[in-house]
Amino acid sequence: MTAEALTGTCTSLPNHAKYLASATLVFALPKAHLAGRRMQPPKPRILIVDDDARVRDMLRDVMATFGYDVDVAEDGRAGVEKFRERPVDVVVTDFMMPGITGLEFAVHVRVIDPAVPIILLTGFATPAVLEEARRLRVTLLSKPIGTLALKAAIGAALGLP
């Protein structure tokens, strides 16, 4: 493999001057890395929280095909732990889950990161749920929702065109 080498001389080692008058540093990179290749930006990270394994796995797989880095949790408590371990760019959560609801989960997320976009999926949009979602700055989407509509909501949350 051919490589381009960048060389330079370092003479600013005052503490080691008597041992090393100068040092030559060599960095070798394959030409393919130097020939106009740009680094890809990191994929946006999504956390999907849903107690229904089929829904959770389907959303994970579909969002991954759309180019997102997806993590999943099986309920709100597990979602809080995952969110603490590894921050994400967008959270997508179900509303009705055992333990804590999606809105209760959103409260925990807001304490950790007040700015992260949260999308709540529900088939139970009562006026009280709507008001609490508005107070928490949570985007509410009604179930059933198509994958393209969810992709559009995630893109909007990320500020994508």
pLDDT of residue 112: 96
What burial class does residue 106 get, using C-beta atoms within 10 Å of its C-beta: 0-12 exposed, 13-18 middle, 19+ buried? buried
pLDDT of residue 161: 78
| Backbone phi and psi for residue 80, each to the nearest 5 degrees, phi listed first | -60, -45
| Domains within the chain, CATH numbers bracketed | 3-34 (no CATH), 45-158 (3.40.50.2300)
Neighbours of 48 (CB within 10 A): 27
pTM: 0.75
How many Å apart are CA 138 and CA 136, to the nearest integer? 5
Contact criterion met (CB below 8 Å) for 25 and 10: yes
Counts for the chain of helices (H) and strands (E), in that order: 6, 7
pLDDT tens track of the chain, all 161 residues? 444 444 444 444 444 444 444 444 444 445 544 455 677 778 999 999 999 999 999 999 999 999 999 999 999 999 999 999 998 999 999 999 999 999 999 999 999 999 999 999 998 889 999 999 999 999 999 998 999 999 999 999 999 87
